[in-house]
């Protein structure tokens, strides 16, 4: 349970960090727009009576929403260490605003899925620059001893804002309809938080958000920085058993989450294709995993103190095996409950991975390893979802896919237990 005095101290410290509060406001507004755009796009493509969303289209929609987070991350990181981050935030928000208008216009015109996907892909590419810029700038606006605490505040604020944005989407969808016209109206509404994020970006003074020259600064071209970053990151992961082990378990969890997400989306869309309730059920499933992860964030430190990182991650993966097997009935309410439990188990593994990278990896290489984790996190999800889309029936009723998830969790458990055993 949180100490009330610590909470009061945290709130008091915010009053003295003017630029951090500005950064927090920008993050909240920006991620509210992200959540609204992601949910609006999913509704436009997957739950639209004017579009027949086959499983491959669902896989494509998720790839559009999340592929930039893995493919553009290294590029964003390299450029953010060269350009004034204030300029990056202004340019990225301006580009995002223009592209959101373009996507909304394409929906209003009844354009095919492919150009809409391409437009959304670029929107999310700009979003990557914004989110990376906000994270990279945080140490420049808070005292060094408060970085960890303020990063937790920023992460929680952003996650809550994104969730509220996704949830808010259901209101205009009810008012304006679930066809292309209604979907385009929702996407047009995204311009409000994005335009506000642009205005909030402009008010920062030049250079206050970094980057600042240091002896660790990487010189040379951005291409050189990106290429060497990947090489050093992959080599470090391979050389540190605890990191390789926990990332193996995390990859297994993300693959199963991809399979389960597709199963729920196809089943729900097949049963409730033209009603808000169908999309609401899908949002509920995805939100359940998020709530489980949030609660696990609170409980994981105690689990690690009691069982150690090795035991906590092994226990979480073993628990996930049993939960996934229970969800193989494909009964949607039960799958929502399983989504909550798997979200909690996956977050335990994720936090163990973060701890391994923060404790067992040298500071000069830590950013490279986090880049590898970021790529692995989303690529595992998309790879499994795409593979499942190739074999899933139109009604989504394929229990063997859920059973395959059990096998993936077992493989992740075996990899983690074997790789990390020598570093216990």
Q: pLDDT tens digits, residue range 329-342?
A: 899 889 999 999 99
pLDDT digits (tens, 9 = 90+) for 228-240: 767 777 888 888 8
- The whole-angstrom separation of Cα 331 and Cα 102 is 39
Using the predicted structure, report yes or no on whether residue 268 has a pLDDT greater than 60. yes
Please give the model's pTM, rounded to 2 decimal places. 0.73
Residue written as token pair 């373009």: 102
Using the predicted structure, report yes or no on whether residue 3 has a pLDDT greater than 60. no
Using the predicted structure, report yes or no on whether residue 272 has a pLDDT greater than 90. no
- The whole-angstrom separation of Cα 24 and Cα 384 is 34
Instruction: Taking each helix axis as running N to C, give the angle between helix 241-271 and helix 55-71, from 0 to 180 degrees, rounded to the nearest 10.
Output: 150
Per the prediction, the chain carries an average pLDDT of: 82
> How many angstroms separate the Cα of 381 from the Cα of each of 71, 253, 416?
13, 8, 18
Q: Judge contact between 323 and 234, C-beta under 8 A.
A: no
> How many angstroms separate the Cα of 85 from the Cα of each of 77, 92, 201, 211, 368?
11, 10, 10, 7, 19
Q: pLDDT > 70: what percent of the chain? A: 79
Give the DSSP letter of residue 217.
P
What value does the mean pLDDT take over residues 39-64? 72
Closest by Cα among 252, 247, 267, 269 to 324: 252
State residue 275's pLDDT score. Answer: 47
Q: pLDDT > 90: what percent of the chain? A: 32
Confidence of residue 187 (pLDDT cuts 50, 70, 90): very high
Domains of the chain: 17-212 (1.20.1250.20), 222-424 (1.20.1250.20)
What value does the mean pLDDT take over residues 123-147? 79
Confidence of residue 273 (pLDDT cuts 50, 70, 90): very low
Confidence of residue 305 (pLDDT cuts 50, 70, 90): confident
- The whole-angstrom separation of Cα 412 and Cα 172 is 41
Confidence of residue 2 (pLDDT cuts 50, 70, 90): very low
């Amino acid at each position: 349970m949180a100490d009330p005095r610590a909470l009061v101290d945290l709130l008091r410290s915010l009053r003295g960090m003017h630029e951090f509060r500005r950064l927090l406001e920008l993050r909240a507004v920006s991620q509210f727009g992200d959540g609204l755009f992601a949910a609006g796009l999913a509704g436009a493509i997957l739950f639209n009576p004017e579009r027949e969303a086959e499983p491959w289209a669902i896989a494509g929609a998720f790839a559009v929403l999340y592929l930039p987070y893995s493919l553009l991350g290294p590029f964003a990181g390299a450029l953010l260490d060269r350009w004034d981050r204030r300029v990056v935030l202004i340019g990225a928000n301006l580009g995002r605003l223009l592209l959101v208008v373009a996507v909304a216009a394409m929906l209003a015109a009844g354009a095919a899925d492919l150009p809409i996907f391409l437009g959304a892909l670029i929107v999310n590419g700009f979003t990557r620059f914004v989110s990376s810029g906000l994270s990279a700038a945080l140490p420049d606006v808070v005292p060094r001893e408060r970085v960890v605490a303020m990063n937790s505040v920023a992460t929680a604020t952003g996650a809550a804002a994104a969730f509220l944005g996704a949830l808010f989407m259901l209101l205009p969808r009810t008012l304006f309809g679930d066809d292309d016209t209604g979907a385009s109206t929702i996407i047009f509404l995204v311009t409000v938080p994005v335009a506000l994020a642009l205005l909030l970006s402009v008010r920062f003074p030049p250079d206050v958000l970094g980057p600042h020259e240091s002896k660790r600064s990487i010189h040379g071209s951005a291409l050189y920085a990106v290429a060497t970053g990947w090489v050093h990151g992959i080599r470090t992961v391979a050389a540190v058993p605890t990191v390789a082990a926990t990332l193996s378990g995390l990859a297994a969890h993300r693959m199963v989450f991809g399979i389960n997400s597709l199963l729920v989306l196809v089943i729900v869309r097949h049963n409730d294709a033209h009603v808000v309730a169908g999309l609401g059920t899908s949002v509920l499933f995805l939100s359940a995993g998020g709530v489980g992860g949030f609660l696990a964030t609170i409980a994981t430190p105690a689990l690690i103190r009691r069982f150690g990182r090795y035991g906590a991650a092994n226990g979480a993966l073993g628990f996930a095996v049993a939960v996934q097997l229970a969800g193989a009935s494909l009964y949607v309410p039960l799958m929502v409950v399983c989504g909550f439990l798997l979200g909690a188990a996956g977050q335990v593994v994720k936090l163990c991975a973060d701890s391994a990278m923060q404790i067992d990896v040298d500071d000069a290489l830590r950013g490279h390893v986090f880049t590898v984790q970021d790529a692995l996190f989303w690529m595992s999800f998309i790879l499994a979802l795409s593979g499942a889309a190739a074999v899933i029936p139109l009604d989504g009723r394929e229990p063997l896919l859920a059973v395959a998830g059990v096998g993936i969790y077992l493989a992740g458990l075996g990899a983690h237990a074997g790789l990390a055993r020598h570093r216990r």
